[in-house]
Amino acid sequence: MSDALRIIPITPAAQQAAVDYRALDVARDHADTLVDGLGRPLRDLRISVTDRCNLRCTYCMPREIFDESRTHLERAEILSFEEIERLVLLFVRLGVRKIRLTGGEPLLRRGIEQLIERLARLQTMEGRPLEIALTTNAVLLARKARSLKDAGLGRVTVSLDGLSDATFQRMSDSTVAVSVVLEGIAAAQSAGLGPVKVNMVVKRGENEHEILPMAEYFRHSGIVLRFIEFMDVGSTNGWRMDDVVPAREVIERIAQRFPLVPLVPNYSGEVAERWRYADGGGEVGVIASVTQAFCHECTRARLATDGKLHHCLFAGDGLDLRVPLRQGVGDRVLTNLIADSWAQRTDRYSQLRHEIAGQPVRKIEMSYIGG
Ligand code: SAM
Ligand code: SF4
Ligand code: SF4
C-alpha cells in the first residue's frame, strides 16, 4: 500500500500509551482527497472555545448538574488562541472550508475578537475562501456585534427558543429578557453579520406553542429561522423520544398558517431542510437530526475546548491534540494525526440511534463538544 493511503490507527488508548510521533512524520498529500471510512470529506470544523455559559438551558446544561459546584476547565486545560490558529491552518489544508466558533457561550471567551482576527488572516494566507461563523445565545451580542464584524467574523447564528419571556426564561433557566436577545440580533444585522440565522430547539410540551409566533415574527425580517429537533447529546438532559417534535410536524403547522414551498439545498451536506414562504416572506428551515438523520452527508469535525478532536456530536471520546501540540511536534505529524483519525471515522450515531437505544453509551456534553 502506498504511503499516501496508509492508515495509522490512533486510538485514545494508543495515544495514552505514548505514541511515537516520529513514526507519523511522513509527508502525505491528504489535501482535498481526504475522506472518512464512509466516503465523507472533511469540510467543516466547529470549535468550542469555552465550556462556560451565562445561561442554563435545560436541554444543554441543566442547572441540577451544571451548578456552582461543577468545575469548569482550568485555563491551562483550554487551547490558547495560538494553538487553535495553528490547528485551524492544518484543518484548512485538509479541506475545511467553514469554521464555526461555539461553546458553551463563545462570547464569554475573553478576547474572542483576537481569535477571529487570527482566523480571518488564514483566509488570505492560504488563498482559499474560509467562512467564519459563530453560534451564540446573544446575551452579549448587542455590545459585541461591531467588534466581531471588524475582527473578520462573517455570520452569526443566534439561539432563541421562544418569544415570550416566560418560555425563554424557563427553557434557559435564567432571568434574561427576550428583548436582550432581540437587541443582539438587531445589532448583528446592522453590523452586517448576516444573513443572521436564528435556531429554535423545539421540545414537546415546553415551547411548541412558540412555533407560530416565532415564524410570524421573523417572516419578512431577512432572518432565517430554523427549528431544531431536541437531541440526546450528552447524558444529562433527560432526553426521551416523546419530547421530540418531528420537523415534519413543525413544517405542517407553519404551512397551515403560512403556505410554504420547498427549496433545494444551498450545497451538498447542508443539514437544514429549507422552505420559503409562498407570499415572499423569506425563508424558514428545519434540522431533523433525530427523525431524518443526515449522517451520510456529515462533513463536520469538532474541536472541543480541551483540544480533543471529535468526529460526531455523540462521541464518547476524542483524539487529544493538545498533548502533541504542547510536546512541540511538527505540522506534518499533527496533520497526519488529524487525517488518519478522519480516515478511520465511521460515525453515524443518528442513523443507529434506535438500534442502540437502551445500551449504555457515554457521550460528551454539548457545552464541551460545541453544538
Ligand atoms: N451558547 C451558544 C448558543 O446557545 O447558541 C452556542 C453553544 S450551543 C451548545 C449551540 C447550539 O446547540 C444551540 O443552538 C443550542 O440550542 C443547541 N443545542 C444544545 N443542546 C441541544 C440539544 N440537546 N438538542 C438540540 N440542540 C441543542
Ligand atoms: Fe449555554 Fe448555548 Fe447550552 Fe444554552 S444551548 S446552555 S446558551 S451553551
Ligand atoms: Fe454527524 Fe454524528 Fe450527527 Fe451523524 S450523528 S450527523 S455522524 S454528528
Quote the ligand 2 centre to 307 CA distance (angstroms).
Answer: 20
Question: 134, 160, 201: which to mutate for ligand 1, most atoms within 8 A of CB?
Answer: 201
Calpha distance 84→303 (Å, rounded): 9
If one residue of 46, 54, 135, 137 were mutated to test the ligand 2 pocket, choosing by the most ligand atoms within 8 A of its CB, it would be 137
Euclidean distance between the first and the last CA atom of the chain, given in angstroms as a whole number: 38
Whether a cis peptide bond, with omega within 30° of 0, leads into 265 is: no
Total H helices, total E strands in the chain: 12, 12
pLDDT per residue over 285-301, tens digit each? Answer: 999 999 988 899 999 99
Beta sheet of 155-159, edge-to-edge order = 260-262, 273-277, 283-287, 224-229, 197-202, 155-159, 131-136, 98-102, 44-48, 300-303, 308-310, 319-320
| 99 has a pLDDT exceeding 80 | yes
Could you report the per-residue pLDDT of 189-229, keeping only the tens digit for each?
999 998 999 999 999 999 999 999 999 999 999 999 999 99
pLDDT for position 135: 98
If we measure between CA atoms, which residue out of 148, 155, 143, 138 comes closest to residue 115? 148
In degrees and rounded to multiples of 5, residue 87 shows phi and psi of: -65, -40
Q: What is the DSSP letter of 41?
A: B
> What band does 271 get if pLDDT is binned at 50, 70 and 90?
confident
pLDDT at 26: 59
- Does the Cβ of 350 fall within 6 Å of ligand 3? yes
Percent of the chain, pLDDT > 70? 88
Angle between helix axes 141-151 and 178-191 (nearest 10 degrees) is 20
Quick check: 261 pLDDT over 80? Answer: yes
CB 197 within 8 A of CB 223: yes
How far apart are the CA of 289 and the centre of ligand 3, in A?
A: 8
Alpha-carbon span 117 to 157, nearest angstrom: 19
Going by C-alpha positions, the residue among 180, 186, 181 that lies closest to residue 146 is 186
pLDDT of residue 14: 44
What's the whole-number average pLDDT of the chain? Answer: 89
Strands in the chain per DSSP E: 44-48, 98-102, 131-136, 155-159, 197-202, 224-229, 260-262, 273-277, 283-287, 300-303, 308-310, 319-320
Residue 197: how many other CB atoms lie within 10 Å: 21
> Packing angle between helix 178-191 and helix 165-172, nearest 10 degrees?
90
Instruction: Report residue 273: phi and psi, to 5°.
Output: -90, 125
Indicate which residue's Cα is closest to atom 9 of ligand 1: 371
Q: Is 335 in the pocket of ligand 2 (CB under 6 A)?
A: no
Whose C-alpha lies nearest to ligand 1, atom 8? 371
DSSP 79: P
CATH of domain 12-369: 3.20.20.70
Band the pLDDT of 358: cuts 50, 70, 90.
Answer: low
Which of residues 214 and 314 earns the better pLDDT score?
A: 214
Q: How large a percentage of the chain has pLDDT more than 90?
A: 71
Residue 179: pLDDT band with limits 50, 70, 90: very high
C-alpha cell at 160: 432563541
Contact 89, 53 (CB under 8 A): no
Burial class (CB in 10 A: 0-12, 13-18, 19+), 266: exposed
Q: Which of the ligands is closest to the CA of residue 161?
A: 1
Ligand 2 binding pocket includes 139 (Cβ within 6 Å) = no
Give the residue carrying C-alpha cell 491551562: 76
Closest residue by Cα to atom 2, ligand 1, is: 136
Cα angle 150, 76, 43; round to 5:
50
**Comparison of pLDDT for 269 and 329, the residue scoring more:** 329
Q: Which residue has the cell 440526546?
A: 232
| Amino acid 3: pLDDT | 34
pLDDT greater than 50 at residue 233 = yes
| Structure letter (DSSP) for residue 35 | B
**pLDDT tens string 7-40:** 334 444 445 444 556 656 655 566 668 999 999 9
